[in-house]
Each structure stands twice: as structure tokens, then as C-alpha cells.
Amino acid sequence: MTPSHPSPNFGDRRGGQRPELVVLHYTAMASCAEALQRLCDPLAEVSAHYLIDTDGTVLSLVAEKARAWHAGAGSWAGRGDVNSRSIGIELANPGTEPFAAPQMAALEDLLGGILMRWALPPQAVIGHSDMAPGRKGDPGPRFDWRRLALAGLSVWPEPAAPGDFIADLRAFGYPDLPPETLLPAFRQRFRPWATGPLDDTDRALAADLCHRFPIDVAAPQA
């Protein structure tokens, strides 16, 4: 499919990789038009496969088979170069506002098609903050992950027997980082208004992610 608003910022997926993740972002810009301009600016050297406006308009910037430049440094499931193995979706939002209902509905429709086309499970849908904890914060605490999970387009944990927080998150896919880095990223997605030190609720939710949605964690790359 030819992109409706083609960006020059893309390349081939390295090593013949195929999409195995979908990474969600917010634009952190004042308007969708401003974000579109930046994502299509060759000097900016950033892009995404899709950009969704607040009214639900879906703009296609890079073909799904190509490698867009949206993820940057980070890793998931023990491997880096997330750009080569993911599809990136930008949501027009400054990062401080709730996500509009038409925008969320359009995202659900788009995700449903992507997961079907590439035979991906719901746990393949992650946030930029999941793969780059401590460096990135999007799509932020106002994003409704539970809504996506109820639609079968992401996952949501239920409390299990508390376990090893770091080991369980790593088994789910998070990078191997210390608790002080992982906890804010985990809570932003699954306990967005929780405060205080790591507790048994965090451990119980992480254990459920590990047990119900484990992934094959690759050896860390140099």
C-alpha cells in the first residue's frame, strides 16, 4: 500500500526482519499538522508508519514493510534495533491531555488490521516507554491501555502470587535494567497513579505478565 503522506525518512528492515512489535507514541507537539511536517522532514530524520489525528484521521507515512525511524535506542525481549522489527504509530497529543475518543477508535481499527496482517499477539503492542525506560515517557499515563486490552489489542495483568519483579518483567520483554528505572515505566502503563517504593502489588502484576504472556528473551546484544 502506498502511503497517503509519504515520508522520506525510512529504509530497509535490517537482516530481513519482519514486524514483530507495534510501538505506540505520542507526538508531544501542538498539532497533528506540526507533527506531520516534522515526520516528513528529511532534516529531522524521524518518522513513523502511521500518524493518527485527534479526530480519528489516520495518515500513512511509511509502508509497513519498510523500516521507519521512530523507536531510537532501546530494546525489547533482549534485542535492540526495534525499528527493524516494529511498526510505529504516533498519536497526535502534546502528552498532557486525554486521548480523544475518535482517535482511540481509529487506533483500535488500525491495530486490529496490523495484528491480523502480521499474525501478532496482543502482547506485541508496547509503548515507547516500555522499550526505552528512563529515556522515553510516551504514550504516557493518560493513555488507556486497559481499553486496548479489553478489545484484544494489548494485555492487562491481574494480581498473581508476587515474585521477582525484575526477572518477571524481563520475561515479559522489558530491558534488563535496575528497579529504579523499570518501576516508573511499569507503573506508567499498568498503575499510572501509584506512588511510593516497589510493593507487592507491583510484584503481583509483574508475575502475571510473566506467567500469562512470556516471550523468548534473546541474549543481550553488545
* Active site positions, annotated: 90
Burial of 109 (C-beta count, 10 Å sphere; 0-12/13-18/19+): middle
185 vs 192: CA distance, rounded Å: 9
- The amino acid that residue 23 corresponds to is V
For residue 180, what are the CA distances in angstroms to 73, 112, 126, 139, 197?
A: 19, 34, 20, 20, 9
Residue 55, CB half-sphere, CA atoms under 13 Å: how many? 5
Long-range CB contact pairs, 54-59, < 8 A, 24+: 54/92, 54/93, 54/100, 54/102, 54/103, 55/100, 55/102, 55/103, 56/100, 56/102, 56/103, 56/105, 56/106, 57/32, 57/106, 58/106, 58/109, 58/110, 59/4, 59/5, 59/32
